[in-house]
Amino acid sequence: MVHLARGALALTAALLMTTAASAQQRVLKYNADYDPIPLAAMEALIADFEAANPDIDVQLNNFDHEGYKTAIRNFLTADAPDLANWYAGNRMAPFVAAGQFVDVSDVWESEGLNEALSSARASMTIDGKQWGVPYTYYQWGIYYNKDAYAAAGVEVPTTWAEFVSNCEKFTAAGIDCVTTGSKALWPIAGIFDYLSLRTNGYEWHMDLTAGKIDWTDQKVKDVFAEWAKILPHTTKNHAAIDWQDAAALLVQGKAANYVMGNFAVGTFKEGGMTNDNLGFMVFPEITPGIPRAEEAPTDTIHIPSGAKNIEDAKKFLAYVASAEAQTKWNTAVGQLPTNKNSSVPADDPFLAAGFEALSSAYALAQFFDRDAPAEMAKVGMEGFQEFMVKPENLDAILDRLEKARARIYK
């Protein structure tokens, strides 16, 4: 009883204090979808921002990651915050088209972001204007188990031909050459994207995801022909497992390679891998001479059109885009800053490799489900999964995708 009374007292006091504080401060409501580690990092950033701007009170309202994707559609129209998390590329197109995001080109102009964030500028631009600010991205590539390579007695490949011939040796040694978990569909889109980028190049791939190329085109079939080479050496039951289950196969040495994003490193290490036996390589070249493009999904912050405090929201965007803020956030989370004046911790080989891979890349793709419209992404990824299980259905799958393309991009 005593505890209860004391707790109630503390609660009342806390409530009184927050109302007292917000009475003299301008409130900035921020809706986000952070996992625990990024959340802590963002709270630290907000504390710094509030220290520098004592007259602004940022109220972070954190959502569950999956639930956020549905929630944003409701709160943008019903009860708009001043800031909201979202993604770059085609993923933000429906909101921009519906007039739900504020044009923040002036922030880009005044803060010199066109220079500093040049690598992410294209994916933030629709109709020549910028609609938000990117704060992080991460590389995709092939993560591999060095012990599995040793067990099969093969070298880390430098070309696609070597990669494929390695696969046969892995299979002979009873190891899955490539693992993935396609239950949630998106992991295999990474494989398709890389095969497409390496076979036909960045411009072609972007045309494909923008709906300018027939899915029945011979060049699409070329991509799937490359994929067919590694299919017999891919984890058999991928359709039944999630990406984390496949990560366990890599950790246990039952699989050698995994096309994944850098966020998976944490999972690999939790499973017991270290910098000594976990390796990272850029997806190998397929068609010689094609400039190397990489996948780098970018996370962004936007100002909803219904925001009440746009002035301060822009101030916050400028702060999040700054080199110091991005260095701090991304160091804490283990991802890559989009501001090129930021620094990356040197003791993390995967971040260093990713930074190197992305900064030397010819161009950056977002990811299949962000480059292509949501509906096309869904139909496409389902097609990829069917192809992986039943490669003989390829023509029927491509006919179906072509039908979807004709409907979605009209």
Partner 1 sequence: MSAFWKANQRRLAPWLFMAPGLAMFLLYVIIPIFQSIWVSFYDWDGLGDARWIGTANYVELIDDDAFYISLKNNVIWLVLYMLAVPAGLMIAIFLNQTISGMRLYKSLFFFPFVISQVVVGLMFSWFYAPNFGLFYNLLEWVTGSGTAILADDRYVTYGIIAAGLWPQIAYVMILYLTGLNNVAPDQVEAARLDGAKGWQMLWYVILPQLRPATFIAVVVTVIGALRSFDLVSIMTNGGPFGSSRVLSFYMYEQALSEYGYRMGYGAAIAVVLFAIMMLFISGFIWKMWRDETER
Q: How far is the CB of 101 from partner 1 (least distance, A)?
A: 12
143 contact partners, CB below 8 Å, separation of at least 6: 250, 257, 258, 260, 264, 265, 268, 278, 279, 280
Nearest residue (CB) to partner 1, 6 versus 65: 65
Nearest residue (CB) to partner 1, 162 versus 382: 382
- Nearest residue to 93 via CA among 391, 343, 369: 369
| Three-class secondary structure of residue 409 per DSSP | coil
> Which tokens hold the place of 158?
């430098």
Of residues 76 through 115, those in contact with partner 1 by CB under 8 A are 76-77, 94-95, 97-98, 100
Q: How far is the CB of 123 from partner 1 (least distance, A)?
A: 19
Instruction: Confirm if 71 and 346 have CB atoms less than 8 A apart.
Output: no
Q: Do you know the residue count of the chain? A: 410
CA–CA separation, 394 and 383 (whole Å): 9
Nearest residue (CB) to partner 1, 79 versus 375: 375
Tell me if 131 contacts partner 1 by CB under 8 A: no
Q: How far is the CB of 236 from partner 1 (least distance, A)?
A: 8
Of residues 40 through 79, those in contact with partner 1 by CB under 8 A are 66, 69-70, 73, 76-77
Tell me if 256 contacts partner 1 by CB under 8 A: no
| Three-class secondary structure of residue 260 per DSSP | strand
Q: How far is the CB of 388 from partner 1 (least distance, A)?
A: 9
Tell me if 232 contacts partner 1 by CB under 8 A: no
Instruction: Confirm if 168 and 233 have CB atoms less than 8 A apart.
Output: yes
Tell me if 335 contacts partner 1 by CB under 8 A: no
- Nearest residue to 257 via CA among 351, 194, 350, 180: 180
- Nearest residue to 363 via CA among 220, 213, 206, 258: 206
User: Cα 109 from chain centroid?
Assistant: 26
Tell me if 405 contacts partner 1 by CB under 8 A: no
Nearest residue (CB) to partner 1, 95 versus 355: 95
Nearest residue (CB) to partner 1, 94 versus 349: 94
Tell me if 196 contacts partner 1 by CB under 8 A: no
CA–CA separation, 128 and 119 (whole Å): 16
Of residues 165 through 194, those in contact with partner 1 by CB under 8 A are 182-185
Tell me if 297 contacts partner 1 by CB under 8 A: no
Binding-site ranges for partner 1 (CB under 8 A):
66, 69-70, 73, 76-77, 94-95, 97-98, 100, 182-185, 236-241, 369, 374-375, 377-378, 382-383, 385-386, 389, 400, 407
